[in-house]
């Protein structure tokens, strides 16, 4: 099911609380984030965030390069996004800071959420839900009839988010997250119409 570049580095879901739920605890004055396609020049800042959130099993630069190599052109099978802070001109250091990313692979009608994560100061803002919405839209564009993902069994917050989007548990992968030997819960979402998809407004 997974088409990750390396079977030894599979981090399809972040550690506990790395994916925000439906809380709205964020400061109303906090700058918003703009979602756009991940490009090669984003790899360095994405790696910084990756290493902060996944210090034990962060992806390597080569893994991101390999994924992006399949993200453009007529035979593309990947969709990778970044979330970049949108701030007013002359606002200072935070302008353009990457605060989230996510990726989806599509093979033979099945989508696989490869990774999705947000910076800690963005938890509770709904950014994770926005990234997931875009990746599910990409799955529709790839004509996927189902989307799969793995999530740590102890990441209940992320599981609640995925359940909101129609994902259901279908099994386990024992010792999937290494080091640590943490099991993964495998979840699946079958194709839904746009009217069935959950709204992320107010998250």
Residues tagged active-site: 150, 162
Distances (CA, A) of 199 to 102, 158, 192: 19, 17, 13
Q: Encoding tokens for residue 93?
A: 């250091």
HEC per residue, 146-161: EEEEEEECCCHHHHHH
Distance, in Å, from the CA atom of 165 to the CA atom of 57, rounded to the nearest integer, reads 27
Residues 6 or more apart whose CB falls under 8 angstroms from that of 202 comprise: 24, 126
Please say whether the beta carbons of 111 and 144 come within 8 A: yes
């Amino acid at each position: 099911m997974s088409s990750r570049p390396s079977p030894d580095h599979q981090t399809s879901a972040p550690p506990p609380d790395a994916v925000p739920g439906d809380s709205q605890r964020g400061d109303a004055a906090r700058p918003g984030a703009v979602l756009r396609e991940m490009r090669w020049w984003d790899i360095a800042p994405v790696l910084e965030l990756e290493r902060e959130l996944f210090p034990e099993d962060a992806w390597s630069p080569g893994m991101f390069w390999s994924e992006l190599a399949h993200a453009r052109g007529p035979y593309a099978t990947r969709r990778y996004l970044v979330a970049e802070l949108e701030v007013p001109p002359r606002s200072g250091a935070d302008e353009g800071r990457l605060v989230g990313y996510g990726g989806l692979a599509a093979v033979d009608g099945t989508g696989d959420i490869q990774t999705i994560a947000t910076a800690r100061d963005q938890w509770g803002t709904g950014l994770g839900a926005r990234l997931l919405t875009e990746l599910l839209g990409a799955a529709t564009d790839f004509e996927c009839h189902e989307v799969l993902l793995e999530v740590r069994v102890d990441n209940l917050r992320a599981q609640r988010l995925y359940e909101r989007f129609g994902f259901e548990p279908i099994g386990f992968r024992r010792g999937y997250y290494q080091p640590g030997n943490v099991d993964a819960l495998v979840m699946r979402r079958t194709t839904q119409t746009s009217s069935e998809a959950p709204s992320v407004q107010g998250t």
